[in-house]
């Protein structure tokens, strides 16, 4: 029966879908996925999971697995990412509450299947087009936000442009620097494109700093500092850009009551922390961090296991937290990726996570703009990891998986890509 099935599949592949057609289908599905994940979550719900599975099946069906696996084997970044995920899975072995651990792992769903596909399926110009598709989705999303905030358009209530805004703000940070680097790229060649990219950069900055997304705003500011170092060879231009961006950001913050109120609330949260009251936004994160540290002390090397993190935290909260602040026991995570990893898989898990950072930094991308953007992506990843459990948060983990894979693809040798694509 198995032999008959194999023959049927081989016949279908030989006579119906050649490699070129299959590669095109993978690319078009991938383009739509990159564009759509940047849109509000309630537009075409379930699209990411369905497309991920389709793309992965086509990738397997397209054959040439030996060369694909060989490329993946020689990517240290891919290997450390795999080791990191396996560390979380293995930590389930010393967890008693396996149901909770499985629910946490389910956050990965099918999205990490995209990584081997995106690394091995595209030429570099195709990867650039996929990143461009993602930025186009962000441009549409940011435009809808502005139009709705000024009552120019009205969307159905089920389409929430702002949820989860902490996640989408990181999308906008990356897209703003994408547009800014291409504004720089076209400065001496195409004035029309230069104006367009500058307009998109300003669109993202406006959206970021007129909405309460503190982690995204922090990621933007740190990314701006990174950019200053990258452009240090032209000091005059760098100083001008810094002054313009700083003035613009300060003006937007001072003119937005919504943003100011979030920072006032943050200051109030700090006062609550001093009184051991953890019922606010920042104060809840502080309380969760304190309890996570107590959990980590129980097994700092290997962690308490992914399945037991919540139960162990609840135990500490019951012992050490008083009054209404005990409500933080209902949070599934710590809202801090570093502490979440230490809880689940200890120092071993965190080392693998940091090795991912190191090898993003070391990616041998020759194009200056895309090398710079890989460093911006690294900056956003590092900052966002402080603010939330991003690995377990959709749609951030889809964004993480796709961009990580595309940057690995952009670092590959052209001969390796041709070997995979033409075989």
pLDDT, position 119: 92
Q: Is residue 272 part of a domain?
A: no
Helix axes 368-387, 165-185, angle to 10 degrees: 160
Rounded Cα distance, 328 and 314, in Å? 9
> Could you say which DSSP state residue 365 is in?
-
Q: Is residue 268 part of a domain?
A: no
Rounded Cα distance, 56 and 241, in Å? 43
Of the given ranges (170-184, 208-222, 234-248, 326-340), which has the lowest mean pLDDT?
A: 234-248
For the cut 70, the answer to whether the pLDDT of residue 19 exceeds it is no
Q: Is residue 275 part of a domain?
A: no
325: left (phi over 0), alpha (psi -120 to 50) or beta: alpha
pLDDT, position 77: 93
pLDDT, position 413: 78
Sign of the alpha-carbon torsion through 36, 38, 39, 42: positive
User: Which carries the bigger pLDDT value, residue 173 or residue 228?
Assistant: 173
Kindly report the pTM of this predicted structure.
0.85
pLDDT, position 165: 66
Rounded Cα distance, 386 and 399, in Å? 17
Q: Is residue 411 part of a domain?
A: yes
Question: Hey, which of 41-45, 194-198, 267-271 has the most confident mean pLDDT?
Answer: 194-198
Number of domains in the chain: 1
- For the stretch 131-154, pLDDT in tens is 999 999 999 989 988 888 778 877
- How many CB atoms neighbour CB 11 within 10 A? 10
Report the pLDDT averaged over residues 312-341: 84
Q: In which band, very low, low, confident or very high, does the pLDDT at 18 lie, cut at 50, 70 and 90?
A: low
Residues, the chain, total? 423
Question: Hey, which of 129-143, 206-220, 280-294 has the most confident mean pLDDT?
Answer: 129-143
Distances in Å between the alpha carbon of 298 and those of 99, 230, 311, 345? 21, 42, 13, 12
Report the pLDDT averaged over residues 397-410: 91
pLDDT, position 253: 73
Give the residue numbers spanning the domain of 105.
2-263+334-422
Exposed e or buried b per residue across 238-260, where buried means at least 16 C-beta atoms within 10 angstroms of its C-beta: beebeeebeeebeebeeebeebe
User: Which carries the bigger pLDDT value, residue 92 or residue 23?
Assistant: 92
- Are the C-beta atoms of 166 and 198 separated by less than 8 Å? no
Q: Is residue 271 part of a domain?
A: no
For the cut 60, the answer to whether the pLDDT of residue 10 exceeds it is no
pLDDT, position 247: 82
Nearest by Cα to 155 from 15, 324, 51, 39: 39
> Could you say which DSSP state residue 327 is in?
G
For the cut 70, the answer to whether the pLDDT of residue 311 exceeds it is yes
pLDDT, position 405: 94
For the cut 60, the answer to whether the pLDDT of residue 22 exceeds it is yes
For the cut 90, the answer to whether the pLDDT of residue 86 exceeds it is yes
pLDDT, position 161: 67
Q: Is residue 307 part of a domain?
A: no
The percentage of residues in the chain with a pLDDT greater than 70, rounded to a whole number, is 85
- For the stretch 33-77, pLDDT in tens is 999 888 877 676 667 788 888 899 888 887 778 888 888 888 899
For the cut 60, the answer to whether the pLDDT of residue 13 exceeds it is no
The percentage of residues in the chain with a pLDDT greater than 90, rounded to a whole number, is 27
Average pLDDT, the chain: 82
Report the pLDDT averaged over residues 208-232: 80
Q: Is residue 292 part of a domain?
A: no
pLDDT, position 361: 93
pLDDT, position 139: 94
For the cut 80, the answer to whether the pLDDT of residue 163 exceeds it is no
Q: Is residue 285 part of a domain?
A: no
For the cut 60, the answer to whether the pLDDT of residue 272 exceeds it is yes
């Amino acid at each position: 029966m198995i032999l008959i099935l194999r023959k049927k599949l081989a016949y279908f592949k030989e006579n119906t879908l050649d490699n070129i057609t299959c590669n095109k289908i993978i690319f078009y599905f991938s383009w739509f996925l990159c564009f759509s994940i940047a849109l509000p979550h309630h537009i075409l719900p379930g699209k990411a999971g369905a497309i991920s599975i389709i793309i992965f099946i086509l990738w397997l069906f397209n054959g040439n697995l030996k060369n694909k696996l060989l490329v993946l084997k020689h990517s240290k970044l891919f290997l450390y990412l795999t080791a990191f995920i396996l560390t979380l899975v293995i930590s389930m072995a010393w967890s008693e509450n396996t149901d909770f651990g499985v629910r946490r792992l389910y956050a990965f769903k099918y999205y990490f299947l995209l990584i081997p596909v995106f690394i091995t399926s595209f030429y570099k110009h195709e990867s650039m087009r996929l990143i461009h598709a993602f930025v186009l989705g962000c441009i549409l999303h940011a435009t809808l936000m502005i139009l709705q905030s000024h009552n120019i358009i009205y969307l159905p209530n089920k389409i929430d442009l702002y949820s989860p805004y902490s996640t989408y703000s990181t999308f906008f940070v990356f897209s703003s620097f994408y547009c800014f680097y291409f504004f720089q790229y076209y400065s001496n060649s195409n004035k029309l494109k230069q104006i367009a990219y500058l307009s998109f950069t300003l669109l993202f900055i406006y959206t970021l700093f007129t909405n309460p997304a503190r982690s995204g705003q922090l990621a933007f500011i740190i990314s701006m500092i990174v950019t200053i170092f990258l452009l240090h060879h032209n000091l005059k231009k760098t100083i001008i850009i810094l002054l313009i961006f700083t003035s613009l950001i300060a003006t937007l913050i001072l003119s937005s009551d919504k943003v100011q109120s979030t920072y006032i609330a943050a200051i109030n949260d700090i006062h609550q922390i001093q009184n051991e009251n953890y019922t606010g936004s920042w104060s809840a994160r502080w309380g969760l961090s304190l309890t996570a540290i107590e959990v980590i002390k129980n097994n700092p090397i290997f962690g308490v296991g992914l399945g037991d993190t919540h139960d162990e935290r609840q135990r500490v909260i019951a012992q050490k937290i008083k009054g209404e602040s005990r409500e933080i026991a209902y949070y599934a995570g710590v809202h801090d990726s570093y502490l979440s990893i230490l809880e689940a898989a200890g120092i071993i898990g965190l080392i693998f996570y940091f090795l991912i950072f190191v090898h993003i930094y070391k990616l041998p991308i020759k194009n200056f703009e895309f090398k710079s953007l890989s460093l911006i992506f690294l900056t956003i990843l590092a900052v966002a990891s402080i603010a939330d459990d991003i690995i377990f948060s959709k749609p951030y983990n889809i964004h993480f998986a796709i961009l990580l894979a595309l940057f690995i693809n952009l670092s590959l040798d052209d001969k390796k890509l041709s070997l995979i694509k033409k075989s």
